[in-house]
Amino acid sequence: MKTYRHLYPQVCAFDNLYAAYRAARKGKRGRVPAASFGFDLDGNLIRF
């Protein structure tokens, strides 16, 4: 099994989180949970 070290800062970079959010919201923009998460997007992405 291959191990990767020091990836946490890359995974948790704001640009990566934003790209993941955009990919996950496709087809869900009209739903309440997606809209409420997107309402405070910056705060939610920084919190994670």
| pLDDT, tens only, 1-39 | 888 888 888 888 999 999 999 999 998 888 999 889 989
Measured CA distances, 2 to 5, 47 (Å): 10, 30
The DSSP-derived string for 1-48 is -----S-HHHHT-HHHHHHHHHHHTTT-TTSHHHHHHHHTHHHHHHH-
**pLDDT band at residue 46 under the 50/70/90 scheme:** confident
Confidence at residue 10, expressed as pLDDT on a 0 to 100 scale: 85
- Tell me how far apart the alpha carbons of residues 31 and 48 are, in angstroms, rounded to a whole number: 21
- The domain spans of the chain are 8-47
Confidence at residue 3, expressed as pLDDT on a 0 to 100 scale: 84
Phi, psi dihedral angles at 2 (to 5 degrees): -90, 140
